[in-house]
Amino acid sequence: MKIPVAVIIFNRPDNTSQLLESLKLYKPENLYVISDGPRKNFESDKEKVAKSRKIFEKIDWKCEVFYNNSDSNLGCRERIISGLNWVFNKEEKAIILEDDCIPSKEFFDFMESMLNRYQTNKKISSVCGTTFLSDWKGEENSYLYSKYCNVWGWATWKDRWQKIDFDLVNLDKVKKTKFLKDYLGSFRAYVYWHWILNKVNDKKIDSWAYIWNFTNFVNEKLSIIPETNLLSNIGIGEDSSHTKSLSYKYMPSNESKNKMTFPLKYPTNIILNTKYDLTVENTVFSKSIFNRLKWIKRKILG
């Protein structure tokens, strides 16, 4: 039986149409549509939101579609978390795609294989379809294990999702223990993650992904990261809500010459790839001084 798919949409009908087209590669039998409502004082949102929702009426394969539409605008954090709570009240596992994440055929094959293989292994919290490091080399296997979850096309299980610390109730407790300094490996990472999480907690950053990563840090859970990107994010740029630019090189699957091959090459043991994680922290999140200067230069020069 096909794994259920949850899609998260808002006011981008063109992106949503491309996402629907890509779902034909997998033809899920159960599809969950999570939609935020129009924003106040954005008149064009009403039409765009309605148009995005209607796109899933055009499915031409046998599929039951379930809708969770918000009348008001909840924002990224509340809408996605409440939407996935709804999905996991009905399903034991699900593949999750936002409207700017266009998956390849290999993405669905990989998700299905990993969700089934690691269903009972509670050490694994997430299966990612994207790697933070597109040019990462040296892996003999099809994937690695990381502390960091990239949510550009991913999947998880009900029992893992139910651990999410939606209100960051553990944040103050973790601050006092300096847990993140030891777990993430540096004082710089400790300062950065508490700074980011404080902004999320104060609702100055509207994000659920930082909360999910924090939940997995605290519970010492790992994410599966593929050797190459299995989807293309078409939402990066000035019109994006969050990702207007990147501090690191990103290679979408439709441009990459590296394709995932099957049968998969499985790691022998579940061992954290510390070299990969250190590079992710130094490149993507807290950033080393060198990488921070490179990022600032890139932003200035465009």
Within 8 A by CB and 6+ apart from 126, the residues are 149, 151, 154, 155, 156, 160, 212, 216, 221, 223, 224
Assigned token pair, 121: 């292994």
| The pLDDT value given to residue 300 | 52
Architecture category of domain 1-99 in CATH = 3-Layer(aba) Sandwich (3.40)
pLDDT in tens, 57-67: 989 999 999 99
Q: Letter for the amino acid at 63?
A: C
Q: What is the pLDDT of residues 236-267, one digit of tens each?
A: 744 445 455 566 687 888 888 788 999 999 99
Which of these ranges, 136-145, 169-178, 233-242, has the smallest mean pLDDT?
233-242
> Helix, strand or coil for residue 250?
coil
> Of 92, 202, 104, which Cα lies nearest the Cα of 152?
104
- In the chain, the amino acid numbered 250 is Y
Q: Which residue has the tokens 């465009």?
A: 302
Note the pLDDT tens digit of each residue in 115-143: 999 999 999 999 999 999 988 876 789 99
Residue 235 reports pLDDT greater than 90: no
Residues contacting residue 229 through CB under 8 Å, at least 6 positions apart: 129, 130, 131, 134, 250, 251, 252, 253, 256
Comparing CA positions, the residue from 68, 49, 56, 50 lying closest to residue 28 is: 56
Q: Give domain limits for the chain.
A: 1-99, 122-150+220-302, 164-218
30, 97, 186, 286 from 3: Cα distances, Å = 8, 13, 38, 35
Tell me what the mean pLDDT of segment 97-112 comes to.
Answer: 97
> Has residue 73 got a pLDDT over 50?
yes
DSSP state of 65: E
How many angstroms separate the Cα of 192 from the Cα of each of 197, 214, 259?
Answer: 9, 12, 34
Residue 47 φ then ψ, to 5°: -70, -45
